[in-house]
Homo-oligomer: A and B are copies of this chain.
Amino acid sequence: MARKGKANTDAVEILHRRFFQGKPDRLKELEEARANDQVAHKIYELRTSAGLTQAQLAKLIGTTASVICRLEDADYEGHSLGMLRRIGAALNQRVEIRFVPIRRPA
Contacts and interface: CB of A to CB of B under 8 A. Distances in A.
A64 to B, nearest CB: 14
A106 interface: no
Contacts of A95: 35, 97-99
Q: How large is the interface on A (under 10, 10 to 19, 20 to 34, 35 or more residues)?
A: 35 or more
Chain A interface, >50% SS class:
helix
A32 interface: yes
Contact of A39 (B11, B56, B97): B97
A94 interface: yes
A99 B94 CA distance: 6
Interface in A14-52: 15-16, 18-20, 28, 32, 35-36, 38-39, 42, 46, 50-52
B98 A12 contact: no
Interface string A88-106: 1111111111111110100
B59 A12 contact: yes
B101 A93 contact: yes
